[in-house]
Amino acid sequence: MILDTLSVPYEILEANNRIGGRIYTYRFNGEAGRNAPIDDPARYDYVDIGAMRFPNIPFMKRVFDLFEKLGMTEENRMLVPYQYSAASTFELFNGFRHSSADSAPEDFDIFGVSETKGGAVPDAFVAQGADTVAAEVFLPYRDAFEKLPFPEAWKLLTAEDPYSTRGYLLAKKDYPETVVEWLETFESATGLYNNAFVESTMDAMDFGSSSATTDAGIRGKDLDYPWYCIDGGADHLTTRMVNRIDTKPITGTRVTKIERTESGEMKVVYRTHGKYLMTYSQVICTVPLGCLAAIDIPKDDLSYMQRLAIRSLNYDTSTKIALKFESRWWEDPKVMGEGRTIKGGISSTDIPIRTCVYPSYGFHATGKVPGVMLASYTWAQDAQRLGGLAQGKGTEADGLLVELTLNNLSHLHGVPREKFGKLVDHYAYNWHNDENARGAFALFGPGQFGQPTRNNSMFASMKAPAADGKLHVAGEATSVHHAWVLGALNSAWRAVYNALGQLDPEEAVKKRKLLVDRWGIPDEETTKMLDHLAVLAQYKAI
């Protein structure tokens, strides 16, 4: 879309036969669901396996600007409120179940984790609650990003980059290990605190500040709700983008080699039904780094730090399990009880399924809506363990996965399985098993962003041009906003800015000005820093 506005010709080579990458909507009823109109029950026979929710916070303004450009608004009901929290949802930890429909308990420790109750967490921490304790950790950095220019706040945060979240809480906050494990259990995923403190902080700001901060807005005004999803599936976003652009993607073309020629052009070898070769002036490569590692790029076209980054930068695992029942039993008072039905929101637990997400759409359908729920959404070690069972329908492992998920759902909700009604279908997906992703999203380890006082940074090296300025790596891994559509958008802007620098100097200045005029500058970038990285890359100093 950016290149079209700059009148820059291009081709898009896409290995998959599906458009959208890690925006992936799975429809149990196929194209009938995609094409069904709003409020038709057939439209809601789906689950978003990839991106599925969009917080209305200042960071995400570029995402909501894109929605507007594509005609996706509240008014035409393409954007609908995403119920991040809802009444009557459940928490089940340490064998104790609690529903938000129940009156607030007088007992400060309803899950029996405190030392007084025979657990291991000091009472003073449990009395505050995990949400409060975690918020206190990240509050100084959230305040910094609200009050300071992004580069200054980022410098402050990355000073702590040597620490994992676990290491930061143990060493800098002096929390007992039992408190760290308690926070990870209730606030995150098993093992996720072994990743960078910087990641946990950015995640906390994206999730925790959403309800308090609503000045992002569309058309200069606030939206009415802090979270949104796309009615009918998130892939309506990428479908509309493809419909908008002048040159359509060429699907089923897997790139196997990228090489700079003696004349300075870029040779791209790709595979369809045979082997083909094309030559371009420049290449923007948006594949996840695990896939990029499998593309043959000669040693002189990447610096040492770039090769190190492609191999070493960490990606998280994510597994999603969708179940389709005959009806939405969680919205049925005959199953859940009067005043205890669930519409949207999530339920959380420490048993294997970890997080259950109820649909926030289809509430105004004109008939019976299919009973599709995201029965399990897991990350990190939780996702690895469930992902080991996500081996495809008809396998013994798949049968074990469905049985485990149904039993966990019954335990979480306190509802016998027979009350769920008939299980019509299911779909499980482990992003590490996707040959075109090989990981769910970037989630760096300690030190992988780089400290402000250090000269070398794997993260910075990926933002710099390669192959003498002709190869540009993009994608959410090359933005500070990992796992969000925003990261992809920001990286696209940066890649185009860098590519324009290879044009004739007069043309480069003209096009870059047009880029800034029409698309602004992402808050995480400065043109001065990008120009500096390009110079360093020219001498392979990064």
Measured CA to CA, the distance from residue 20 to residue 240 in angstroms comes to 11
Tell me, what's the pLDDT at 224?
55
Name beta bridge partners: 228: 54, 81
**Which pLDDT band, with edges at 50, 70 and 90, does 226 fall under?**
confident
Pairing label, strands 441-442, 315-316 = antiparallel
Distances 29 to 25, 84, 201, 234, 356 between C-alpha atoms, Å: 12, 26, 39, 16, 22
Whether 447 is in a domain gets the answer: yes
pLDDT at residue 455, rounded to an integer: 80
Q: Is the pLDDT of residue 508 over 80?
A: yes
φ/ψ of residue 425, rounded to 5: -165, 170
Both structure tokens of 142:
């959230």
Contacts 24+ apart (CB under 8 A), 9-12: 9/247, 10/247, 11/247, 11/250, 11/278, 11/280, 12/247, 12/248, 12/249, 12/250
CA distances from 102 to 110, 175, 344 (A): 12, 32, 17
pLDDT for 37 equals 98
CA-based Rg of the chain, rounded to a whole angstrom?
24
Six-digit token pair at 480?
């500070």
Read off the pLDDT of residues 104-116 as tens digits, 9 standing for 90 and up.
Answer: 888 999 999 999 9
Average pLDDT taken over every residue of the chain: 94
CATH at 465: 3.50.50.60
Q: Across-strand partners of 430?
A: 319
Q: What is the pLDDT of residues 130-165, one digit of tens each?
A: 999 999 999 999 999 999 999 999 999 999 999 999
Is the CA virtual torsion 122, 124, 127, 130 positive or negative?
negative
Q: What is the per-residue pLDDT for 211?
A: 37
Determine the pLDDT at residue 208.
63
Tens digit of pLDDT for each residue in 407-452? 999 999 999 999 999 999 999 999 999 999 999 999 999 999 998 8
Whole-angstrom CA distances from 495 to 289, 328, 475, 476 are 15, 44, 9, 12
Pairing mode, if any, of strands 266-271 and 254-260?
antiparallel
Local structure of 183: helix, strand or coil: helix
Residue span of the structural domain in which 7 resides: 2-16+249-315+439-538
Q: What is the tens place of the pLDDT at every residue in 360-405?
A: 999 999 999 999 999 999 999 999 999 999 999 999 999 999 999 9
DSSP assignment of 284-324:
EE-S-HHHHTTSB--GGGS-HHHHHHHHHS-EE-EEEEEEE
**Domain presence at residue 478:** yes
Q: What is the pLDDT of residue 217?
A: 33
Q: Is residue 195 part of a domain?
A: no
pLDDT of residue 218: 32
Does 63 map to a domain? no
Share of the chain above pLDDT 90, in %: 91
CA atoms within 13 A on the CB side of 141: 24
The pTM for the full model equals 0.95
Query: CB under 8 Å to 87, separation ≥6 — which residues?
Result: 100, 101, 342, 343, 345
**Quick one: which H or E segment has residue 511?**
helix 505-519
Q: Which of 355, 323, 377, 417 is nearest to 92 (CA)?
A: 355
Q: Is the pLDDT of residue 90 over 60?
A: yes
Task: Answer yes or no: is 61 within a domain.
Answer: no
Contact 488, 26 (CB under 8 A): no
240 located within any domain: no
Residue 218 lies in a domain: no
Residue 448 belongs to a domain: yes
Q: Would strands 227-230 and 96-99 be described as parallel, antiparallel, or unpaired? A: unpaired
β strands within 7-101, DSSP E: 13-14, 25-27, 46-48, 54-55, 79-81, 90-93, 96-99
Residue 280 banded pLDDT, cuts 50, 70, 90: very high
pLDDT tens column, 453-482:
888 899 999 999 999 999 999 999 999 999
Cβ-contact 275, 40 below 8 angstroms: no
Backbone phi, then psi, for 474, in 5-degree steps?
A: -130, 180
Query: Which residues on neighbouring strands pair with residue 379, listed in sequence order?
Result: 318
Reply yes or no on whether the pLDDT at 215 is more than 90.
no
Q: Structural domain tally of the chain?
A: 1
pLDDT of 539 reads 79
Q: In angstroms, rounded to a whole number, what is the distance separating the alpha carbons of residues 219 and 216?
A: 10
Distance CA 308, CA 461 (A): 9
Instruction: Give residue 225's pLDDT.
Output: 66
The secondary element (H helix, E strand) that includes residue 380 is helix 380-387
Residues in the chain: 542
Contact call for residues 257 and 296 (beta carbons, < 8 A) = yes
> Which pLDDT tens digit goes with each residue over 37-79?
999 999 999 999 999 999 998 899 999 999 999 999 999 999 9
Q: How far apart are the first and last CA of the chain?
A: 30
Burial call 157-195: b when 16+ CB within 10 Å, e when fewer: bbebbbbbbbbbbbeeeebeeebbbbbbbbbbbbbbbbb
